[in-house]
Amino acid sequence: MTGFRNRVVTQTGTVNPDYTPATRLVLGDAFAGGAEGRWLITFEGVTKRYPDGTVAVDDLDLEVPDGKTMVLVGPSGCGKTTTLRMINRLVEASEGRILLNGDDIRAQNPAKLRRGIGYVIQQTGLFPHRTIEDNIATVPVLNGWRRAKARARARELLTTVGLDPALAKRYPHQLSGGQQQRVGVARALAADPPVLLMDEPFSAVDPVVRGQLQEQLIALQTELRKTIVLVTHDIEEAIKVGDLVALYHPHGTLAQLATPERLLAAPADDYVAGFVGFDRGIRRLSFFRTDGLSLSAGPVLPETATVAAAVKTGEPWILVVASESDPTPSGWLPSDRLAGLDGAALLKDVAADPFGHTFTVGDDSLRAALDAAVLSPAGLAIGVDADGRVAGLATFDQLRSAVQAAQAAQDALDAQENQDALAAQPGSGPGAAP
């Protein structure tokens, strides 16, 4: 099952080695004198209060680590979009400070600040009178690039976001909604900004396209390692794409900040548990790999095996594979279907039931393996290797044991990390006062 990753989240940032000299120059100009080695967004006691007294964000303390995806999620009106827009000063904070690379953003020119930060919005915001390549090239041209160079960069980015460079000369209305959203991402990446802001970027497309765009964002982030702040109202999207999830209360305060796995495993209170959903235990399995899952060898027989050989196993279900040298699954045969058949008949001549789906041992999650077992007519999950050949079968008992072991290991790791964090706090050493 794709789209779910094991994540290691650090709380301090270092300059990405992938940032180009041009990017460093743009942001170095906007943030002259900043702390070397830190591309980190920090909110210090930030409040946004409107003239009518409405408080959209209330005393927010938040740190976004370098090269990670922070997802802001919560109900409508909770302040998540306001938080994002304060980073590039489309909304000005009423109190507190927002730091980027250690510098207060209020000391910077807003236009120059925004040209150094990628921005993707709902409904793309493309200029309808410009071609796709000129839409993507907007910020590089504003930063002084020659138009030919900016357009070449645009065509390069079309490939990066999974679009055909032949679309470069078209106009936005000639593209589908999903294609337009990819162009919006390409435009945000055009000047190679280290920070990318995404305001509900996938909410305007259908579920299938949304899933594809989420998968592409995960792939892009693995390659590009940007510092991303993404706003969504969809907790599933937050868990899928985020390294950290900041869940808001309705009135602009944080309810919990955690990794997706910890948000599912240990909600801070009933509000968080209700927002995350009742099936969080199953969803948590997406973060546990199948490396340690015990597998059974059978019952597995090739298509050239006889009905008599299948009956002799005494098993209620037989997994039929293409051959002994190519054990890719063909289907499941129930033993009662074999009753009364000629024992010399070959299994390939007996109608088999579909096997549902498989899971790749070591790569896929325990959630994928459990799903394979649930959808299997035999109640057994088929584990395959990277080439799709059967590696073994997993029973519900084997899956339960693997789940319990993985949860115990993760809980122990979390406890040790908490203990280490407490020990690292000032005044907590051996000589600390009681």
Mean pLDDT of the region 388-407: 92
CA 226 to chain centroid, in Å, comes to: 13
* Span 21-116+191-287 CATH architecture: 3-Layer(aba) Sandwich (3.40)
Residue 393 has pLDDT above 70, yes or no: yes
Kindly report, as residue ranges, where domains of CATH 3.10.580.10 are found in the chain: 300-399
- Name the residue with higher pLDDT: 429 or 162: 162
Q: Quick one: the chain helix, strand, coil %, rounded to 5?
A: 40, 20, 40
Question: Per DSSP, what are the bridge partners of residue 146?
Answer: none
Mean pLDDT of the region 232-251: 94
Phi, psi of 29, rounded to the nearest 5 degrees: -70, -40
Give 208-232 pLDDT, tens digit per residue.
888 888 998 899 899 889 999 999 9
Kindly report the average pLDDT of the chain as a whole number.
86
In this prediction, residue 71 has a pLDDT band, given cuts at 50, 70 and 90, of: very high
Kindly report, as residue ranges, where domains of CATH 3.40.50.300 are found in the chain: 21-116+191-287
User: Please, where are the H alpha helices in 63-170?
Assistant: 80-87, 110-115, 132-136, 138-142, 147-160
For residue 177, give both structure tokens: 């909604």
Residue 430: per-residue pLDDT: 54
Question: CATH number of 300-399: 3.90.1150.10, 3.30.1230.10, 3.40.309.10, 3.10.580.10?
Answer: 3.10.580.10
pTM of the model: 0.77
